[in-house]
Structure 1
Amino acid sequence: MKVYQQLATALLEHGVDTMFGLMGDANMLYLCDYMERGGRFVPVTHEGGAVGMSDGWSRARGRVGVASVTHGPALSNTVTSLIEAVRSRSRVLLLTGDTPAEPTHFQRLDLAAVATMAGAGYEKVHKPADLVRSLNQALRRVVAEDRPVLLDLPIGLVRKDAGEQQPAARPLSRAIGLPTEEQLNGALGLIASARRPVVLAGRGAVAADARDELIALADQLAAPLATTLLAKDWFHGHPSNLGIFGNLSHSVATAAISEADCIIAFGASLNSHTSFHGELLGDKKVVQVDSDPSAFGWFTPIDEAVSGDAKAVAAAMGDTLRAVGHAPTRSRLEKIQQRLREHRLTDDFQDRTGADTVDVRTAAIRLNEVLPRKRVLVSDIGRFAVGVWPAVRVAAPRDFVCMGGFGSIGLGLSGAIGAAVARPGDLTVLVVGDGGFMMNMAEFTTAVRERLPLLVVVLNDGAYGAEHFKLVHIGVDPDYSLNAWPELVPMAEAMGARGMTVRRPADLDTLRNIARDLDGPFLVDVRLDPHVNIVA
């Protein structure tokens, strides 16, 4: 068996049934063999899309996503998407390979340096007999380190005889235990003395499956519940749910958070968005529970650090509080619950829908109403997001994929394609600005070719919206930020898709039927007024 055949075999033995990529000299042989053995290969338009799709696939599926590109410029084309995956702590394996062993080869590139620059791990196959061993190690590191790893299979080894190999060994997740008694007692002393606590859940709590334990703890404390953006909608339907904590909070949540005297955060980094650059936490006691000790106090000062699994720690806290008879007054929580029952998102803004443009907040509320409840929501980033994220709900946090860890627009489409491949039975909805969509529009053809049930909602203000209002603030003519795009729906139709233009909220109602039976991507061009600043 040759090395390329052995790699295809080992990938399938590892359970890798889907890969995203673009063929070239360094990877074409094992990709062809992989497909011949029954693996699914999704060819992309641009190498950055391969990493973005494997990233979106991993987040939506909960498994390691795999991308494959050839050497040299193919790898450099992946860098922005690779950094996004690193910053989002996504589990992605990137297969590539060193150029032929010729110092003057015009596509030579230091692969280890690229991985290091991006913040990814690096493993190299040094000789044919080490292929499976190196693959095993790369996958172990992806899982253990919660970050992408680049596996370098030099092109000079691809056609060599593989020889005897180690068996494929599936990676194991990290084992996390309970914190020390000292840590737990210190945190409980602070929590028990709080009069107005809030329990906050982040992505780490979701990964630990701690929902029931956190609800029980919040009930024991007579505390409302909140989440970070990446744990969005985890407590939806619970009477104590405040929703998103931070600069995306609605008015009732903002009031409850402002008056809180203690925040108990589980699996949440407390970054600048959640803490509003620390301002939301400055006058409060903060307990941070995390399985990663490096997370403690990184973004904002904390009072107590508890190292352990969110599920186990929450259960232990609840058991101890019940054992000592902790029974706080519930009048404050009951008032918050009453306000939550009465609150509507429309209470917090004035609809600025125009004659032929839609207020993005109104559009988001309407989308939430007309689209199927079971959906995967993928988001690019941009000014539109603050109007969409609080309004368009998902059934579970894994159903929300935000391609914004690096702050680069334009990565949402590849992430959405990956999510749609990962979840073929569900509708995938992408929300993206016009600038972000146009940046990687060619990848739309991949969704057409794969006949993916993908609803692409382009929130189109004909401008780079954030820059538009920064120019207004500075006193420079904001029209410099405007763009004259072609009509998007005819472009989508030319690629083999369907679409519609939306200028009034009621236009979105037709999506109720369209979204039910999508047999390919559908583009919705929602026209916004660039002069309406929803952030102000």
Structure 2
Amino acid sequence: MRVYEAFAAALLEHNADTVFGLMGDANLLYVCDYSERGGRFVPAVHEAGSVSMADAWSRMTGRVGVASVTHGPAVTNTVTALVEAVRSHSHVLLLSGDTPREPTYLQRLDLSAVAAAAGAGYEKVYRPESVVRDLNRALQRVVAEDRPVLLDLPVGYLRKDAGTPQPAVRAVRPHAGAPTEEELGDALGLIAAANRPVVLAGRGAVLSGARDELIALSERLAAPLATSLLARDYFRGHPSNIGICGNLSHSVAGSAIGEADCIIAFGASLNVFTSFEGEITAGKKIVQVDADPGAFGSYTRVDEAVAGDAKAVAAAMNAALDAVGHRPATGRLRGIQQALTEHRPADEFADRSAADTVDVRTAAIRLDEVLPEKRVVVNDIGRFVAGVWPYLHVADPGDFASMGAFGSIGLGLAGAIGAAIARPGDLTVALVGDGGFMMSLAELTTAVRQRLPLLVVVLDDGAYGAEHFKLVHHGLDPAYSFNPWPEPVPIAQAIGARGMTVRKLAELDALTDIVADLDGPFLVDIKLDPDVNVLA
């Protein structure tokens, strides 16, 4: 068996049944063999798109997403998407290969240096006969280190004899268990002494499956339940759920968090958004629980740090509180719950829809009403997200992916394509600004070719929205941020998709019927007024 055949077979043994990428000299042999063996190869338009697809696919499935590209410029094309995956701690294996051993070869590149610059791990196939062992090691590192790894399979090895390959070995995720009673002691003392605590869940709590334990803890402490953005809607439907903590909090949540004297954070980094640049955490006792000790105090000071799995630590805290008969006052929580029942999202802002534009917040509320409750939401990044995130919900935080950890526009559409492939039974909604859409426009052809039931929502203010706001803030002409793009819907139709332009809120109601039977991507271009700044 040759190396490319052994490698293709090993990918499938690892249950890597989908690979995203572009073919070239470094990968075409094993990509074709992989497809012949029954694997699904999804050809992207751009190498960055293939990494974003693998990234979102991994977030939706909980498995390692695989992207395969050729060498040289193909690898440099992936860098922005690779950094996004690194910053998101995504499980992505990027496959490439060293060029032929010729110092003047046109596409030569130091792959290890590229991986290091992006913050990814680097592994290589050292000998033809070690190809499966080296793949095993790369996949184990992806899972163990919670970050992407670039695996270098040199092109010169592909047609060599692989000998008798070792079997594929399943990657195992390290598990941090519950701390000892002694390790919990100081944190429990601080928690038990709090009069107005808040229980906060981050993405780490979601991955741990800690929902029931955290709800039980909130009941023992009479504490409201909050989440970070990436754990959004984790407690949806629970009477104590106050939603997102931070700069996206609604008024009831803002009051509850503002008057709190203790925040108990599980699997949340407490970054500048969750802590509102430190305003929320100031003057409060902070208990941070995380499986990664390196997370403690990264963004804000911590009074007590507890290393361990969120689910196991919360269960241990519940048992300890029961053992001492802890009984908190419940009046404050009942008041918060009553305020939540009376809260209406539209009361948070004044609708600034106009004759031919829609307020992005009003549009998000209507989308939340007309789209199926069970949906996957993937967003690009831009000013529009602040007007969408608080109002367009998901049934579970695992149905949401934000392609914005690196702050780069243009990755969301490819991410949504990967999510749609991962979750073929659900409607996937891509939320993109007009600038990010134009940057990634060509990737829409991938959704057309794959006949994906993908709803692409373009929040279109005809400008680079964040820059528009900053130009106004600096007293400069905001017209410099305007972009006279071609109309998105005719472009989508020329590519083979369908679409509609929305200038009136009521026009969104048609989506209920449209998404009920999608056999390909549908683009909704919602016209916004660039002068309506939801961040102000």
TM-score by length of 1: 1.00
* 1:3-43: CA deviation from partner (whole Å, max 9, x where unpaired): 00000000001101000000001100100000000000000
Cα distance, 1:82 vs. partner? 0.3
Aligned to 1:491: 491
CA distance in 2, matches of 1:158, 1:464: 45
| Paired residue type of 2:241 | N
Alignment of 1:267 with 2:267, yes or no, is yes
Cα distance in 2, alignment partners of residues 340 and 34 from structure 1? 53
| Structure 1: distance between partners of 2:366 and 2:148 | 37
For 2:83, the equivalent position in structure 1 comes to 83
Shift of 1:477: 0.3
The alpha carbon displacement at 1:176 in A equals 1.4
**What displacement does 1:255 show?**
0.4
Q: Aligned ranges for residues 194-205 of structure 1 at < 5 Å?
A: 194-205=194-205
Percent identity (aligned): 72
Aligned partners of 1:495 and 1:307: how far apart in 2?
Answer: 51
Cα separation, 2, equivalents of 1:168 and 1:330? 54
Matched, 1:378 2:375: no
SS at structure 2 position matched to 1:440: helix
Q: How does 1:123-142 map to 2 (within 5 A)?
A: 123-142=123-142
CA contact under 8 A between 1:252 and 1:340: conserved in structure 2?
Answer: yes
Structure 1 residue 181, shift from structure 2 partner: 2.6
Letter of the structure 2 residue corresponding to residue 479 of structure 1:
A
Q: How far apart are 1:177 and its partner, in Å?
A: 1.4
Q: Which runs of 5+ in 2 are unaligned?
A: none
Q: By how many angstroms is 1:521 displaced?
A: 0.2
Q: Deviations over 1:352-401 (max 9, x none)?
A: 00000000000000000000011000001111001111111111111001
Q: How does 1:477-488 map to 2 (within 5 A)?
A: 477-488=477-488
Deviation at 1:323, TM superposition (A): 1.4
Q: Deviations over 1:119-140 (max 9, x none)?
A: 0000011210110010000000
Offset, 1:247: 0.2
Deviation at 1:77, TM superposition (A): 0.3
Superposed counterparts of 1:172-321, under 5 Å: 172-321=172-321
Amino acid at match of 1:381: I
Q: Which amino acid aligns with 1:175?
A: H
* Aligned counterpart, 1:99: 99
**Map of 2:367 onto structure 1:** 367
Query: Secondary structure of the equivalent of 1:456?
Result: strand
Cα distance in 1 for partners of 2:380, 2:145 equals: 25
Structure 1 SS opposite 2:214: helix
| Mapped partners of 1:472, 1:49: distance in 2 | 33
Structure-2 residue corresponding to 1:354: 354
Could you tell me whether the CA contact under 8 Å between 1:51 and 1:94 is conserved in 2?
yes
How far apart are residue 164 of structure 1 and its match?
A: 1.8
Match of 1:490, SS state, is: helix
Report how far residue 404 of structure 1 moved. Answer: 0.5
1-structure distance, mates of 2:60, 2:271: 23
1:13, 1:126 → 2: CA distance? Answer: 20
Q: Which residue of 2 aligns with 1:459?
A: 459
CA distance in 1, matches of 2:389, 2:348: 15
CA offset at residue 272 of structure 1? 0.4
CA distance in 2, matches of 1:446, 1:90: 22
Q: State the TM-score, normalizing by the size of structure 2.
A: 1.00
Q: Residues of 2 paired with 1:287 and 1:388: CA distance?
A: 30
In 1: Cα distance, 2:165 partner to 2:4 partner: 13
The separation in 1 between residues aligned to 2:209 and 2:48, in whole angstroms, is 32
Q: Output one character per residue of 1:101-122: Cα deviation in whole Å (capped at 9) or x when no partner.
A: 0001111000000000000000
Aligned to 2:507: 507
Q: Distance in 1 between matches of 2:195 and 2:298?
A: 26
CA shift digits 1:79-114 (9 cap, x unpaired): 000000000000000000000000011110000000
Contact 1:195 1:261 in 2 (8 A): yes
Matches within 5 A, 1:110-149: 110-149=110-149
CA distance in 2 between counterparts of 1:469 and 1:48 reads 29
Unmatched segments (≥5 aa) in structure 1: none
Q: Which amino acid aligns with 1:301?
A: R
CA RMSD of aligned residues (A): 0.6
Q: Distance in 1 between matches of 2:247 and 2:175?
A: 34
Amino acid at match of 2:118: A
Farther off after superposition, 359-368 or 168-177: 168-177
Q: Which residue of 2 aligns with 1:469?
A: 469
Mapped contact 1:183–1:305 kept (Cα < 8 A): no
Q: Could you list the per-position Cα deviations for residues 221-247 of structure 1 after superposition, in whole angstroms to 9, with x for gaps in the alignment?
A: 000000000001000100000000000
String of CA shifts for 1:266-317, please: whole Å, max 9, x gaps: 0000000000111110110000000000000110001000011111111111
Q: Deviation at 1:322?
A: 1.4
Q: Determine if contact 1:278/1:300 at 8 Å carries over to the other structure.
A: yes
Q: Which amino acid aligns with 2:529?
A: D
Aligned to 2:326: 326
The answer to whether residue 70 in structure 2 is matched with residue 74 in structure 1 is no
Structure 1 CA distance for aligned equivalents of residues 182 and 321 of structure 2: 16
Question: Following TM superposition, by how much is the alpha carbon of 1:432 offset from its aligned partner in structure 2, in angstroms?
Answer: 0.5
CA contact under 8 A between 1:246 and 1:276: conserved in structure 2? yes
Tell me how far apart the structure 2 counterparts of residues 422 and 325 of structure 1 sit (CA, whole Å).
Answer: 46
1:170 is displaced (CA, Å) by: 0.6
Counting matched residue pairs gives 536
Q: Would you say the 8 A contact 1:72–1:107 is kept in 2?
A: yes
* Distance in structure 2 (CA, Å) of the matches to 1:207 and 1:497: 35
CA drift of 1:180 comes to 3.2
Which secondary structure does the structure 1 equivalent of 2:173 belong to? coil
Quick one: distance in 2 between partners of 1:529 and 1:182? 57
Deviating more after overlay: 319-328 vs 64-73: 319-328
Give the CA deviation at 1:141: 0.3
Q: What is the match of residue 532 of structure 2?
A: 532
Superposed displacement of residue 175, structure 1: 2.0
Q: Secondary structure at the match of 1:60?
A: helix
Measure how far apart 1:472 and its partner are.
0.4
Over residues 391-446 of structure 1, what are the superposed CA-to-partner deviations in whole Å (9 max), with x where a residue is unaligned? 11111111001000100011000100000000000000001100000001000000
Stretch of structure 1 that moved more, 318-327 or 435-444 = 318-327
- Give the corresponding residue for 2:152: 152
Task: Determine helix, strand or coil for the equivalent of 2:122.
Answer: strand
Tell me, in whole angstroms, the C-alpha distance in 1 between the residues paired with 2:293 and 2:494.
Answer: 52
Please identify, of 311-320 and 211-220, the stretch whose mean Cα deviation from structure 2 is larger: 311-320
Runs of 4+ aligned residues of structure 1 deviating over 3 Å after TM superposition are none
Distance in 2 between residues matched to 1:63 and 1:177, nearest whole Å: 22
**Post-superposition shift, 1:479?**
0.5
The AA in structure 1 aligned to 2:307 is S
Equivalence for 2:414: 414
Q: Do 1:261 and 1:283's aligned partners in 2 also have CA atoms closer than 8 Å?
A: yes
Q: 1:165 Cα deviation (Å)?
A: 1.6
Cα distance in 2 for partners of 1:533, 1:293 equals 38
Instruction: Say if 1:203 and 1:231, in contact at 8 Å, map to a contact too.
Output: yes
- For 1:141 and 1:126, the matched residues in 2 are separated by 16
**What whole-Å deviation, never above 9, does each CA across 1:29-59 have from its counterpart, x for those lacking one?**
1000000000000001000101010001001
Q: Distance in 2 between matches of 1:30 and 1:491?
A: 35
Counterpart secondary structure, 1:470: helix
